[in-house]
Homo-oligomer: A and B are copies of this chain.
Amino acid sequence: MGMAPVAHVLFNKFMTFNPKNPDWLNRDRFVLSNGHGCMLQYALLHLFGYGVSLDDLKNFRQIDSITPGHPEAHDTPGVEVTTGPLGQGFANAVGLAIAQQHTAAVFNKPGFELVNNHIYMFFGDGCAMEGIASEAASTAGHLQLGNLIAVYDDNHISIDGDTKCAFTEDVTKRFESYGWHVQWVKDGDNDLEGIEAAIKAAKEVKDKPSMIRLTTTIGFGSKLQGTGGVHGNPLKSDDIQQVKQKFGFDPEKTFVVPQEVTDLYHKHAADGAAAEQEWNKLFESYGKEHGDLHKDLTRRLKGDLPEGWQDKLPTYKPGDAAIASRKLSESVLEAIYEAVPELLSGSADLTGSNNTRWKKAVDFQPPNLGIGDWSGRYLRYGVREHAMAGIMNGLSAYGTIIPAGGTFLNFVSYAAGSVRLSSLSHQRVIYIATHDSIGLGEDGPTHQPIETLAHFRALPNMMVWRPADGNETSAAYYMALTSKSTPSILALTRQNLPQLEGSTIERAIKGGYVALEDKDAKITLVSTGSEVSLCLEAVKVLKEQGIPARVASLPCVEVFDAQDKEYKLSVIPDGIASMSVEVMSTLGWEKYSHEQFGLNRFGASGPYKEVYKKFEFTPEGIAKRAAATVEFYKDVKPLRSPLNRAFQQLI
């Protein structure tokens, strides 16, 4: 209720959009970072004629409705990004603003200002306190994103009551320190003219993001206005009645929209539809002068990749040199960046370690810094993992970009809040997560992930790839880029990996395949990444002991899960024992193996080969446990593959 006045002004006086086509590229974007106030957003969508009916509003927070408790992008027409977890929308908006700036730089041509929309975002005290918003705000200031206008709902109330109990910083000064343009509207409840003037002034500032501090009264009009009692709680019925009376509505009626309101909002929607018509004409004539760009943009908006791009993916033969998978990833980027122009790479200050930058990459930077330009396809995120992930969600949501961003696998955990939303909101985002295990060596336990892959394998709609060699790395990129609504984490090594005998892109894109077959095998070793080649060595040790063994490489269990049962049972068959081998938590590997060899403790600082040896991740250490597994299961009848289950999981 506190943000209703500014929302009314913003949507009707400044924003251009067509409710009949929520996907129109050049629409202004609106992000509600304080997503718990989503009833305001749903009500606006309804008033403007988006596909949100009065019944949908009545079904607020009900099962299978399109009006869930927090805004979800893929559920509700007109909701741009999924918000609610505080601070996320802030970072998403920064991503949308970068995407807008970049898309304009690439596609706008003299006489054809195809892309000139703005990104508007509301945030509250909760968002302002979250680290991700601080990171994103600092980034936006550095990048001089003049197309981003944020309205800060300065209502002095959070769930614990007055913000005075925990949040007494000078928010204005903080945003100025980031390089933002800041204005203050002191009576956000009533001063509609002041609000309008502030947004107008913000639009005129081209070289800085803008923050409008709007002092409002939470639950404005309610008997409880200005208290924590209206934060997320519904009003009591007598209070609702008096509010309605105060603002001139019939207190007895609910879910009624006065005709003059409907007329006003529908008029604005019609103006937006006309604006899109104009734009469509402009785009058509653009096509005559700039045919290739027209084709490229049209393709990007469909989410399709350029024809034949996959032919650029590097392939490897068994004789080829051993290479770290972070370097193999770099080779993929180097090979495909020209073919896939929507790919925008970057790193959270680990460019040289993550190998995320192709040689000829131009940085995305404000041109006046002299170190890049707006058309640049490489983002320097700084040491800001959480904002990087939130920004990537926004980049993806804009519709013209596929973002890839690097950090150490261990520090993808810093970004967990946003990674979760990549999955939930179906964003095609690629996390390039190098230094994926104790194999990073000397940096030690503070940097060696143990729990991280278990975490993200438990996250629905996330592909976790841990490629074992060059072909598997190419396969990981193939799947990451072609899966339009699923994000990916590519867990990559620091240390060199040999090219495997049995690997091909075609096999690896199934998520799992037989890397070494033996029809007489008594055990299947199921492994990923750097341990697959160790397992192949272990097979030799086992052979000497008279135990024939086979190896299954499972670079991505989620993709493997999606194969048909017959195929899966050909990889991990009935009748013989199986053991997983991965140098991290064994949690979850019971699903693919009878026994598990992993690391359910923290690692150690030292040269990586010694660390592997300390924990017995050697051919001998693997063989010893494999032999024990064969022995243990020899009397079990029938010995089913762990993939054989009593019932189907709900998905």
Contacts and interface: CB of A to CB of B under 8 A. Distances in A.
A625 B602 contact: no
Given A595-B645, A606-B62, A131 B134 contact: yes
A247 interface: no
A213 to B, nearest CB: 13
Contact of A455 (B164, B177, B451, B629): B451
Contact of A131 (B371, B384, B579): B384
B179 A176 contact: no
B460 A600 contact: yes
Give me the 6 closest cross-chain CB pairs, A-B, nearest first. Answer: A131-B131, A590-B590, A63-B606, A68-B605, A632-B646, A166-B382
Interface in A125-161: 125-127, 129-135, 138-139, 141-142, 158-160
Interface stretch (A79-87, A297-305, A321-329): A79-87
10 contacts: A62-B610, A69-B447, A85-B414, A131-B135, A131-B384, A159-B350, A159-B352, A461-B601, A588-B590, A598-B649
A68 B455 contact: no
Given A61-B444, A443-B84, A588 B646 contact: no
Interface in A580-634: 585-588, 590-591, 594-596, 598-602, 604-607, 610-611, 614-616, 625, 628-629, 631-633
A651 interface: yes
Contacts of A649: 586, 596, 598, 600
A635 interface: yes
Contacts of A69: 442-444, 446-447, 605
Interface in A439-481: 442-447, 450-451, 454-461
A166 B141 CA distance: 10
A255 interface: no
Contacts of A159: 349-353
Interface of A: 35, 61-65, 68-70, 72, 82-86, 125-127, 129-135, 138-139, 141-142, 158-160, 163-174, 176-179, 347, 349-353, 363, 365, 369, 371, 380-384, 386-387, 410-411, 413-414, 416-417, 420-421, 423-424, 442-447, 450-451, 454-461, 579, 585-588, 590-591, 594-596, 598-602, 604-607, 610-611, 614-616, 625, 628-629, 631-633, 635-638, 640, 642, 645-647, 649-651
Contact of A646 (B83, B585, B633): B633
A631 B616 contact: no
A177 B179 contact: no
Contact of A413 (B416, B596, B625, B629): B416
B173 A177 contact: yes
A647 B454 CA distance: 21
Given A85-B410, A138-B167, A636-B637, A447 B177 contact: no
B382 A129 contact: yes
Nearest to A159: B349
B421 A413 contact: no
B168 A454 contact: no
A615 B650 CA distance: 8
A66 to B, nearest CB: 10
A456 B446 contact: no
Contact of A588 (B84, B423, B587): B587
B606 A64 contact: yes
A458 B82 CA distance: 28
Given A590-B590, A600-B460, A85 B135 contact: no
B450 A458 contact: yes
Nearest to A606: B63
Given A84-B447, A424-B445, 16 more contacts: A72-B446, A84-B443, A85-B414, A141-B168, A158-B349, A164-B369, A413-B416, A461-B602, A587-B587, A595-B645, A598-B649, A600-B650, A600-B651, A632-B647, A633-B646, A637-B637
Nearest to A82: B446
B131 A605 contact: no
Contact of A383 (B62, B129, B386): B129
Contacts of A637: 636-637
Given A65-B605, A174-B174, A382-B158, A131 B132 contact: yes
Contact of A169 (B84, B141, B600, B611): B141
B638 A383 contact: no
B130 A135 contact: yes
Given A382-B129, A383-B126, A417-B411, A443 B70 contact: yes
Contacts of A347: 160
A345 to B, nearest CB: 13
A650 B72 contact: no
Contacts of A365: 165
Nearest to A596: B649
Contact of A459 (B442, B451, B595): B451
B383 A447 contact: no
B611 A63 contact: yes
B458 A604 contact: no
A383 B130 contact: yes
Which of A171, A386, A651 neighbours the largest number of chain B CB atoms within 10 Å of its CB? Answer: A386
Nearest to A126: B383
B638 A638 contact: no
Contacts of A168: 141-142, 179
B625 A647 contact: yes
Contacts of A625: 646-647
Which of A139, A458, A595, A650 has the most C-beta atoms of chain B within 10 angstroms of its own C-beta?
A: A458
A160 B349 contact: yes
A644 to B, nearest CB: 8
Nearest to A353: B159
Nearest to A67: B605
Given A416-B413, A647-B595, A158 B383 contact: yes
